Amino acid sequence: MSERITLTSRSDGFALSAYRANPKGTPIGGVLVIQEIFGVTPHIEDICSVFADAGYVAIAPSIFDRIEPNFDAAHDQEGIQKGIAAVMKSPWPQVVADMQAAIDALPQPAYATGFCYGGAAAWMAAAQCSGLKASSCFYGRLIANLLDRKPQIPVMLHYGAHDASIPPENVESVRLAAPDSPLYLYDAGHGFCRAGSHDYNADARELAINRTIDWFARWR
């Protein structure tokens, strides 16, 4: 059970689209799902469905709607450059406000998770958004640049041990800055949760998602 909804950003009143997946019964809470640089893709919709199946309302806001409505970038070099350009045009205060709009539309208790760029955004949500109980960040390379933004809620972290885009020292800096946050390394590369990726690892994805669901339940 899914639908497209419209959110109103707290920063400038901008109307941005979002994907919402609903559980079959009464929801046990809500999950903010934050996109990769490629937009709200079938992968992100699939992640929303996973949380809906676990009993949560899941909302994935289209963070780059100001740049291009229903933003979509291919998983190739051109698409990566398009996504990076979108990140550069999306200041964190604006992104935080857009994430807050999604949180405000979720039932409580609410949580956040995100992948790649979204992993860093989930860290920022933990630091600067209100109404969240816990966050789970997947392979967020940019987190190492955001360590001065201290999470105000419990955070869990997931990385691929063979991720060529995130050097070990990046991960170690996050570990040292957040010693109380569980940090897991998987026998996988970058994007191991995204089916179709050359680094997709079904076992690592299942383990990481189950850990996230258990983590959210812990802080209910």
How many other CB atoms sit within 10 Å of the CB of residue 25? 7
**Mean pLDDT, rounded, of the chain:** 97
Tokens of 197: 């990726």
* Residue positions annotated with a catalytic role: 116, 163, 190
Per-residue pLDDT of the chain (220 residues; tens, 9 = 90+): 899 999 999 789 999 999 999 999 999 999 999 999 999 999 999 999 999 999 999 999 999 999 999 999 999 999 999 999 999 999 999 999 999 999 999 999 999 999 999 999 999 999 999 999 999 999 999 999 999 999 999 999 999 999 999 999 999 999 999 999 999 999 999 999 999 899 999 999 999 999 999 999 999 9
| C-alpha of 199 from chain center | 18
pLDDT of residue 152: 98
The pTM score is: 0.97
Q: What is the pLDDT of residue 6?
A: 97
Which position has the token pair 């919709």? 45
Grouping H, G, I as helix, E, B as strand and the rest as coil, residue 6 is strand
pLDDT at site 51:
98
Residue 152: Cβ within 10 Å count: 14
Count CA atoms closer than 13 A to 134's CA, side-chain side. Answer: 18
